[in-house]
Structure 1
Amino acid sequence: MNIADLRKSYEKAELSESASQADPLKQFDQWLNEAIQSEVPEPNAMTLATVGSDLRPSTRIVLIKGFDERGIVWYTNYGSRKGQELAGNPFAALQFHWVELERVVRIQGLVEKVSDEESDRYFHSRPLDSRIGAWASPQSQVINGRGVLVANAAKYGAQFLLKPPRPPHWGGYRLKPDTWEFWQGRKSRLHDRLRYSLPPTNGDAAWLRERLAP
């Protein structure tokens, strides 16, 4: 099969200005809940894009762990590639792709670390093996083999038993959106795209909602 011949007609739903929320956070909450209720695979998975000091972008999949008016939250190793890139350039982009619903959400904004209290609270809610794993994995570093991870997990499991503390190199990030885009697939490639952006002014300005050509 020629990969260029793969086609799909998107015909499941539409996204109109009149039927969408004026607040993008409410629109996101609605779509995320619909993805969860539709039992799409891993509705909480999102692509995180960062840019390094060499100006080369990189992406990876992370899991959303919370969201509110302050932003979108996930947790990771601060010493990982994404952590190092965010330390040098705190702007990032997120993308959700719910294939079965023919929907995409793109979010851009400034990233900051969450408080130690938030990171501690989430860390201690994780399963024990995940908490040990946060100690065992020198994320993004070159290792000699999987045996390194297994040995590290055994080492820290014996050291901390059932109560591993949160590693100082592990915690949460929060992206504060300044731009949202909601994409709904439509027939004949005439997709619906609504972008929400904040005007470059101070204060509690309302979101500007605009339709983009597909």
Structure 2
Amino acid sequence: MRTRMKIYSCLLAFVLGCNVTAEIQQKIIREKASISLRCPHSVEGKVTWSREINGNKVDIITADPDGDIRHNDPGRRYSSLADKSLHISRAAVSDTGRYFCNNELAMELTVIPSGHKVPPTMTTTPKTTTTTPPPPPTTRRTTPPPLPAPSTPLVNTAAPYLWQTSVHAVIVILSLIIMISITVITWRKARQKQKRHTTETENDL
């Protein structure tokens, strides 16, 4: 019984961890702006911030009570705040990517070049735009309405969230299958043990 409770507790903690992962924050900022990235949970002691580069995690800075330890910061643009948040000054387009706090995914950052319009993210309320119809023609000649000005394409930020939600659902289903399999195996072993005990008792009699 104790072993079964430990297994259920581990599976529950795993599922809850996946649920937190599915709620990753996404942020879009302009080049040369500053931003602070916070850990998903409250942390104490040393905190190591890393980012994903070419599919690999690379440590950036370690926030230590005695002072910051820089690992990969030639421009000295990264620093830590009092709550162990990562502060990025003069953000560059190359800073785009996923950032991790103690190997836990904290935020997905997108840095766009200066002069480009920042598209709305999932956490902001999109503004409603209205178009004014062209005035009626004043002469007999019919002129086509003016073409709308080209707009900056919006970044689709909903796709990663839907993908993460699908992954979470698959993980939950696999966890349930594992729990059922463990329960069946445990029940079978208990039945076999009970049969052996009954046979030994009959033989003794």
TM-score normalised to the size of structure 2? 0.26
By percentage of residues, which structure has more strand?
Answer: 1
The structure with the larger Rg is 2
TM-score normalised to the size of structure 1? 0.25
By percentage of residues, which structure has more helix?
Answer: 2
